[in-house]
Structure 1
Amino acid sequence: MAFIDCHFFSETLGLSTAMYVILPQKTTGQIGMKGHVTGDKHPVLFLLHGMSDDHTIWLRRTSIERYVANLGIAVVMPSVHRSFYADMAHGPKYWTFVSEELPRIARSFFPLAEERERTFVAGLSMGGYGALKLGLTHPERYAAAASLSGATDVFEFATKRASSTEAVNIFGSTGLIPGSGNDLFHLADQLAASDQPRPKLYQCCGTEDYLHGANARFRDHCRSAGLELTYEEEPGTHEWGYWDKKIQRVLEWLPLNEAKG
């Protein structure tokens, strides 16, 4: 595998930012790990961080590079700070950045596939919310979206868990969230009522996690709307031991056989 610490300028954010990128490399002499490549351009997983972390965290807290080495998949890990993957009411437009500019820039720098069936997104906590938001908003771009302990009820987060200042900075009035593009429940309903292709959806959460109730509500909402969703829960809290295990499960779940090109 190749690892790139990539720093670049974002026109959307108006500042320099960074992403970690893992690229497949076919190897035979690397001790303890054999690489795999599936084609000239690599299937890509956009892997999103949580609220207290940054683009470095997946590589620091898990063995994601080792987990993907034999899969022939690239991993792009951007930095979005505490934006909740939103075009902030009082701050930068991180949703536009991660949904539009980031994929375009990453593909201009690296040999990443552009086809929907070879493009995936996953994340944890705030990043789990971001992954589902991307998959539900742009089902024509993502074949699969996976949430690990995701903050699926952003209205609950904004009204009960965030400070009033932070919630206003991100969303403006919290009353604007329900029924908006920041509301996963609304986005699920929109997708269910459309003729858009439906990405595979995966959701997991530990039963002792403080976000378990919100995850169960979103699971039930998706199923009542008729969306296909793989849901898994088991004992666990909001911590990296759980996410290190479940990201391996996500990689097993991804439709990579359909992504070969």
Structure 2
Amino acid sequence: MSIVTMNFESQYLHSSHEVSIILPNRPRDVDARKYYAGGARYKVLWLLHGTFGDHTDWLRRTNIELYAGEKDLIVVMPSALNSNYSNWDRAMLGYGMYDYLTEELMPLIYNWFPASGKREDNFIAGLSMGGRGAIKYAVNHPDKFAAAAILSAAPVDFSALTEEDLTKDDPFSQRMKGMVDNAGGLDAFVNSNENVWAIMNALAGTGTLPKLLFACGTADKPIYDNLLLFQEHAGRIGLEAEFWTLEGFRHEWRFWDLAIQQALEFFGLEDSGASPF
């Protein structure tokens, strides 16, 4: 495979930003001039990292390069700091991570690389924080993605969120407090694009949502318990989704390497038939 590490100044992040991109390799039996001038447009996976990670995580800790090569798939892996893939208008000069992906990175990839912009050729996936990002993009921009895979993350009902929940002394509660403050208060946050639970309630059964896969290890507490609650809720509201679990796995890269393979199968991506190396 070909791997591009790109650094550019982002309009939405107000800083230089790095993104890793996996591109299909030229088969050795195909002439270089013919291959690169062929005009092919490839399917794209937007692959999101988790808390404390960056654009290199998936490359360093899984075999995503191998899996992408087997399917002639472009994989785009941005960095998101610990933003929860949200807009942080009050951070520094502004850090619009949510808008950055759809309004800046997608146009860049579609126009500077041999990537297909068709909905049926675009997929999104992520682990943990990246899973929350993936489902948020999927339900708020269902016109952009054919399917989404949410790994080791579960939607929660923000209508039950209280001010007291935001006072807990852990980094995830503190991040949530920052998101609520950034939205202009708890009511504004609950009624924003962050509340994917409510958005799915409204869109379930309409046929507008992408295909959804939720994957989690059974030992990944409390996320697995939250996922079971969400699975029951999905059944009640008629939300079409697939749930995939593996016994004994925790919040770990061994699981995510297996889960991304399951996601690629769920997306319906076929092997190219040629060796990627």
Answer yes or no: same fold by TM over 0.5.
Answer: yes
When residues 17 and 212 of structure 1 are mapped into structure 2, their CA distance, relative to the original with a 3 A threshold, is: same
Aligned to 1:208, the other structure's residue is in SS state coil
Displacement, 1:190? 2.5
Matched, 1:7 2:10: no
Equivalent position of 1:204 in the other structure: 215
Equivalent position of 1:189 in the other structure: 201
Residue 256 of structure 2 aligns with an amino acid whose one-letter code is W
Aligned to 2:81, the other structure's residue is in SS state coil
Which of residues 178, 193, 198 in structure 2 aligns to 1:169?
A: 178
Aligned to 1:243, the other structure's residue is in SS state helix
Q: Is the 8 A contact 1:151 1:215 kept in 2?
A: yes
When residues 154 and 47 of structure 1 are mapped into structure 2, their CA distance, relative to the original with a 3 A threshold, is: farther
Matched, 1:98 2:107: no
Equivalent position of 1:138 in the other structure: 141
Q: Is the 8 A contact 1:118 1:256 kept in 2?
A: no
Stretch moving more, 206-215 or 57-66? 206-215
Measured in 2, the distance between the counterparts of 1:176 and 1:114 equals 32
Aligned to 1:106, the other structure's residue is in SS state helix
Displacement, 1:166? 3.0
Matches within 5 A, 1:1-261: 1-28=1-28, 40-88=40-88, 90-91=90-91, 92-153=95-156, 155=158, 159=166, 162=171, 165-172=174-181, 173-192=185-204, 195=206, 197-210=208-221, 211-235=223-247, 236-256=249-269
Residue 253 of structure 1 aligns with an amino acid whose one-letter code is F
Measured in 1, the distance between the counterparts of 2:81 and 2:240 equals 31
Residue 73 of structure 1 aligns with an amino acid whose one-letter code is L
Measured in 2, the distance between the counterparts of 1:128 and 1:154 equals 16
Taking structure 1 as the reference length, the TM-score comes to 0.87
Displacement, 1:151? 4.8
Measured in 2, the distance between the counterparts of 1:72 and 1:63 equals 14
May I ask how many residue pairs the two structures share in their alignment?
A: 247
Taking structure 2 as the reference length, the TM-score comes to 0.82
When residues 61 and 197 of structure 1 are mapped into structure 2, their CA distance, relative to the original with a 3 A threshold, is: same
Q: Is the 8 A contact 1:19 1:79 kept in 2?
A: yes
When residues 131 and 53 of structure 1 are mapped into structure 2, their CA distance, relative to the original with a 3 A threshold, is: same
Q: Is the 8 A contact 2:2 2:25 kept in 1?
A: yes
Stretch moving more, 174-183 or 58-67? 174-183
Structure 1: where are the runs of 5+ without partners?
A: 30-37
When residues 182 and 17 of structure 1 are mapped into structure 2, their CA distance, relative to the original with a 3 A threshold, is: same
Measured in 2, the distance between the counterparts of 1:154 and 1:18 equals 33
Q: Is the 8 A contact 1:189 1:225 kept in 2?
A: yes
Displacement, 1:206? 1.0
Measured in 2, the distance between the counterparts of 1:225 and 1:255 equals 26
Residue 230 of structure 1 aligns with an amino acid whose one-letter code is E
Q: Is the 8 A contact 1:167 1:174 kept in 2?
A: no
Query: Which one has the largest radius of gyration?
Result: 2
Stretch moving more, 60-69 or 104-113? 104-113
Q: Is the 8 A contact 2:121 2:146 kept in 1?
A: yes
